[in-house]
Structure 1
């Protein structure tokens, strides 16, 4: 279901079926009260003129991802999808990106068995880089590869309370990374959880997953510790197995009635495999080079909020992300088979190439990076005006002998941002947002957004919005620099840097309609949009065959998105999502040589139709059945140059059956999960990569 706090349930902290823990002291009770008030949901809803009883009866969510202000969906400046704990559980999703299949306009794909990608409105290669992904507001965007590595986040689906997704550019709130949209995974508050939870999953691909979670309270501080181990054998054709172990800890503390402090730390390490799973022109027929990529990641985050006055709150936050990627070095046999052109395939040449290039890696996902980010902001509320204003500093550092050539490259970005909500009349609300970013070297980007919402009736509101957003180039895009030394004393350049890149730009218009279906405890959300993207950063082949990123890409998106949520009775609820996307890409030049890479083909590249639906039945008090259906139209993904072979449309049906046994202090769950239950294998991203039917058995023990 799509979640909110209902006015009739002011003390309920969770809606996942687990009972809220009852602290043993009055001080602990005060801490929970501060947590509730600090979240702002109840206090904000209570004095907001555009909220009414119908909103609570229809379970309209309150979110903060759109503007940083806590807003009912009737009042947000952009369309927002919320996936709550019940939806996450019912979906049977085994990975974080799989959850985004339940968001209109999103595309989720497997690059191989264990490497995933997610994008909004398509038009991406295997490294989507125009979507901001956050965990508790902490960006996990990786400057070294200019994307998100989903397997390194140290986050288990069971630890997530809700997911808030902005559909459309949110750069005016979060800056360049949110060029096309923003996703925030919000973890469960330790005060809302059972004391102990253990789960295990066995199934297809030799999957063996285990997850432990312990929560407690000490002297008013609530904490949680989570540990996981995951492994699978990947596909039998490519042997692209994966294994990871991750550990996280969360602490929430309110030392006074005016202060709240939240700490999040974690680490994630393991390995995956990389490879081009299509007939790559340099590889022998029906052969694929697969390399192993080991990684180590860790993060630390602190958020402090201090109530200065009843209407003003000071927010200070800081976080650090660190990641080391170590792709395996190809053997001499690998070089001989996959990387030497015809006429040069000799043992001596392979030996020489390896000796001259000791850091050579087949797919170049090799190096290390760390991010430091600090932010200070003021949140204010009055009768007719609410605002969130602040400034921040982000420091990125990256090094890679195969991506950047240099030992260490550093980048700083300063940002100044403001979001405000104006009550123009009793039924009309305006939202304004702006952010200004300054990057090392002098590059600047300014993103703005304006939206007006009108309450047509107690159940219906309409929104008209416009945004102009800019995205600064990443370290990899500006500084990508790689060459291979060839005997005798020759260099073959693969990538050259371009520090003169301009920001990417998008202009977006939208009309949104939200109607509360109070009798059915639900709502319908419609969005009509028109987007124009220009100066997109794409690869262009130079005269010496080296690639350089340049501002040559452009395309247009327009269409319709719809999401429907209904809960007609206590035992049944459903979610339905649909997106129609008319995408037209330009025909830009990608090189100086008369070959197939010279002209980008353009046309409709993103899937025209995507659909997802989740139905959940509580058959008895102890038995639950959920069914999830996905459809994605044909699509042509971008490659480094040109496009990949067309991926045909697919449909997929997932099923989950759960049986529960309960006692006064514990709950046991046994679930059977089947993915792609009724349809054969379908292509996912690369031409030779297929997603086949698979099944899992999941056991979970919860103890208070």
Structure 2
């Protein structure tokens, strides 16, 4: 929780209504831009280390695995991320690409993290939590600013920001160039080819036509390269990812009265990935007969590769086996000659979304927000989908706040969605908050949430099309023998959550304390990682998560503050070990900061016990020293942050059943920042 003046923050994320933390139906962590600067935090993933219970694993320099309460580290996909109301959850591949978020940390005004199932407000894919990143209003930025970061791991970043007003309109434009070198060593690549090179451009404008009528527009573009060390065991070049993402949208708001507001939001996002590499396999593995036999049964092909001729279970199986064995025999010694090809994993993901939201407060005792929306999602890939697959979704939602007595508040909400590929879901939530004293509130909440299977899980038709030179049996176009087809019968993952909370607010002491007890039952989980060699996702898995979380902040004086966050988690009854692959029984963060005479310093520690399968412990200490001064109407801030890792080596669980590692050469890292505002 933010270090502040002891007053409880007002948040909007949990129910879409503006509420004090004492009124919300869930625990919320608020991270402001002041706190980011105070502790020298330079990325969204590092900011989330401040959130109790948030599991953050950096498997490679540009590969973050992040989920609230962890569970499955292979494909973390039970957490939704919003930037100014726009979901960053990929429409076809169920993931959040943390390095590619279309926002720079310098443009973040605050981050609100709802630490509980949030499907009742934001639908499927907000199963465990929601991270809501709110950017700075164009009227709140300087006319011109330059921000630079440099230091260890070949880190270099420069951002230029322009703020301007034109009559009733305000504009914020930011452009940045970012790069880093990632780890020094990876288990699959001693050279640690996992660096990042990105360019971002974002524009936001707000026009206030009058006091009750506004239009908020945004556009962003992200392009660059994510170095990728490994895709397959026979690769001879790196499978780097070339990316081009854009996002455009707007929000129209009309306030009819202090008690009634209407909002319409529409946006379009497109994520374009280009990924190809050179790999070399035996020529016989590109025979169409081998490809056809794999479709019948992969075990038959594995037997042929091992030098055996399997026996078919049916006459059709036997015919396919004989055709494949005959094709290999006709090829003779050429079947074993290595042939180099260039497969790709290109993918284009597109989302078009429109939503109508109406907020109404007919009395001081009752407030309601309700809305309707529609979303079109599309994936296009010759490799993953053998073409284009679209999905259409429709939704209706509502959240109500009812205060029958001054000290009692009820929150009720629900979200219904109709998914063309996955069917219908409904996610309810109910909570009661009781103010037991002027500065103490207790909360009891119950909710259900879901995660809908994505386009790839439901409709994958996965095969690698390649060009052969020289041709094989007169044909240049071929397919690698392995392929996979989705069963298409998956249902949504589910969670049922029970939570007890307590908030203490002592403004005179500058103290805020938030304690949470929780019991979450996750069922119908899709725990298997989709792989072309073995693609068999099911809804057969479950896990139970129980524990307690504490977050606190205190302002010891106007210039001295501190925070302490802690989470205890018990991961129980996991039906598959992957649901215990990202799990820390103990995790948390603590920090203290002080300012005076233009100087600022801070000390912080972030840690996680690392109790997951193959998962190592994490610990990091940060010390920051900063100096601010003014020169000729220009504000300057310079800072140095020294970071020390408890261990240079990190391990995590992998789909191979092994425990890959990532390693830095030195425990110590040094980062500098310089900002100039005019």
Which stretches in structure 1 are left out of the alignment for 5+ residues? 5-56, 589-599, 637-644
Aligned pairs for 1:433-448 within 5 A? 433-441=413-421, 443-448=423-428
What is the CA distance between 1:109 and its match in structure 2? 1.4
Contact 1:3 1:61 in 2 (8 A): no
Contact 1:522 1:564 in 2 (8 A): yes
Matched, 1:477 2:457: yes
Cα distance change of structure 1 residues 497 and 430 upon mapping to structure 2, 3 Å threshold: same
Q: Could you say which structure has the higher strand fraction? A: 2
Q: Tell me which residue corresponds to 2:565.
A: 577
Bigger mean CA deviation after superposition, 260-269 or 600-609: 600-609
Aligned pairs for 1:84-483 within 5 A? 84-236=32-184, 237-275=191-229, 283=233, 290-332=238-280, 360-361=343-344, 364=345, 366-381=346-361, 382-404=363-385, 406-441=386-421, 443-483=423-463
Number of residue equivalences:
612
What is the CA distance between 1:151 and its match in structure 2? 2.1
Q: Tell me which residue corresponds to 1:607.
A: 584
For residue 209 of structure 1, give the secondary structure of its aligned residue in structure 2: strand
Structure 1-normalised TM-score?
0.82
For residue 551 of structure 1, give the secondary structure of its aligned residue in structure 2: coil
Contact 1:519 1:568 in 2 (8 A): no
C-alpha RMSD over aligned residues: 2.8
What is the CA distance between 1:349 and its match in structure 2? 5.9
What is the CA distance between 1:606 and its match in structure 2? 1.5
After superposition, the C-alpha distances for 1:357-412 in whole angstroms (9 at most, x for unaligned) are x5x24xx4x311111110001101121100100001111111122222x2111011
Which stretches in structure 2 are left out of the alignment for 5+ residues? 185-190, 285-301, 308-327, 467-471, 653-658
Distance of 2:459 and 2:516 partners within structure 1: 38
User: Larger RCO: Structure 1 or Structure 2 (Cα < 8 Å, ≥ 6 residues apart)?
Assistant: 2
Distance of 1:682 and 1:198 partners within structure 2: 35
Distance of 1:368 and 1:132 partners within structure 2: 20
Distance of 1:250 and 1:397 partners within structure 2: 26
Contact 2:522 2:544 in 1 (8 A): yes
After superposition, the C-alpha distances for 1:494-533 in whole angstroms (9 at most, x for unaligned) are 4321221111111100000000022221200000000000
Contact 2:8 2:20 in 1 (8 A): yes
Aligned pairs for 1:640-659 within 5 A? 646-659=614-627
Matched, 1:622 2:589: no
Q: Tell me which residue corresponds to 1:693.
A: 668
Cα distance change of structure 1 residues 531 and 658 upon mapping to structure 2, 3 Å threshold: same
After superposition, the C-alpha distances for 1:197-253 in whole angstroms (9 at most, x for unaligned) are 101122112222101001011112111100000112333431322211111011011
Q: Tell me which residue corresponds to 1:524.
A: 513
After superposition, the C-alpha distances for 1:150-198 in whole angstroms (9 at most, x for unaligned) are 2222211010000000001000000001000000100011111211110
* Structure showing greater Rg: 2
After superposition, the C-alpha distances for 1:642-697 in whole angstroms (9 at most, x for unaligned) are xxx6122121101221111214621111111222x263413054632125432112
Q: Tell me which residue corresponds to 1:553.
A: 541
For residue 514 of structure 2, give the secondary structure of its aligned residue in structure 1: strand
Bigger mean CA deviation after superposition, 603-612 or 185-194: 603-612
Contact 2:193 2:228 in 1 (8 A): no
Alignment partner of 1:681 out of 612, 636, 648: 648
Cα distance change of structure 1 residues 155 and 342 upon mapping to structure 2, 3 Å threshold: farther
Distance of 1:335 and 1:526 partners within structure 2: 62
What is the CA distance between 1:490 and its match in structure 2? 8.6
Alignment partner of 1:634 out of 597, 610, 627: 610
Distance of 1:197 and 1:260 partners within structure 2: 26
Cα distance change of structure 1 residues 2 and 587 upon mapping to structure 2, 3 Å threshold: closer
After superposition, the C-alpha distances for 1:620-661 in whole angstroms (9 at most, x for unaligned) are 32111112201101233xxxxxxxx61221211012211112
Bigger mean CA deviation after superposition, 182-191 or 491-500: 491-500
Cα distance change of structure 1 residues 131 and 353 upon mapping to structure 2, 3 Å threshold: farther
Q: Tell me which residue corresponds to 2:575.
A: 587
